[in-house]
Amino acid sequence: MSHVSVLLFHGITPTPRMHSEISSTLFSSCLDLINGLEIPVRSVKECARAARPADRTAVSLTFDDGRESDAVVALPELQRRDFRATFFVTTGLVGTQGFLSWKQAWALVQAGMEIGSHTCSHPVLTRLAPDELDRELRVSKRELEDRLGQSITSLSVPHGFYDARVIAAAVSAGYEHVCVSRPGLNQLPLVAGRPVRRNALHRGTLDGALVHMIEPDRGTLWRWAASYTARAALARVLPETQYARVRQLAMRYLARRR
């Protein structure tokens, strides 16, 4: 059975400060590894339409938030290797410091990249009233389509929190694929309306772990599932701010251990 490992990136910088950021050196190492392994690289949209690779795990590269580094750092590195990727843009942040301008977003489109929505204001979707949820999904989609002239069929869920109501609202708003932060592999081709699992790279990711993120073995998948289950349980019982604090402390502890 063919699968795709969908990798998740946020900001890319020479000296990462936030846990979600990675260094430009690690980013280049990741792309070089994929290139050397000759693994098929596809956008999220292509994963729904392309033929299945023979006995290999394909890779999809996704970028959340619409950071300026998407255009300044990621795009040249992708073009150098003839890779396509999916960039999820938070429309309310376009043009603000550290984020893409509309001109830069258009440059991604011109380079053959897929653009997806990351909502208007990056809220926790599970906490929104139905009308607020609908607005975040539909308004961001419409603005991206109007400004970039590209059909927007992929959505990335901010903060990684989602439930059946969020998935149903996304499908109703016209999205085919909803990318989440739950780790794991996805069967190819992607099925419309089914959450797309992603494997996040972050500041503490080591070079030696890259191959296990691209082509995870059973042990890696088990550890991911256990970690996600624990985090999801905490998120359900703790207030949002308290959960964020606990997660931040855990990340600092793990970083020190490395």
Place of tokens 């376009």: 94
Q: Residue 3 carries which side chain, given as an amino acid letter?
A: H
- pTM summary value: 0.89
Crossing angle between the packed helical segments 240-257 and 218-237, to the nearest 10 degrees? 140
Q: Does the structural domain 3-216 have CATH classification 3.40.228.10?
A: no
pLDDT in tens, 23-54: 999 999 999 999 999 999 999 999 988 665 55
**Per-residue confidence band for 255, with pLDDT thresholds at 50, 70 and 90:** very low
pLDDT in tens, 163-184: 999 999 999 999 999 999 899 9
The SS3 assignment for 89 reads: strand
pLDDT in tens, 175-216: 999 999 899 999 999 999 999 999 999 988 888 889 888 888
* Measured distance CA(176)–CA(180) in Å, rounded: 13
Q: Where are the domains of the chain?
A: 3-216, 217-258
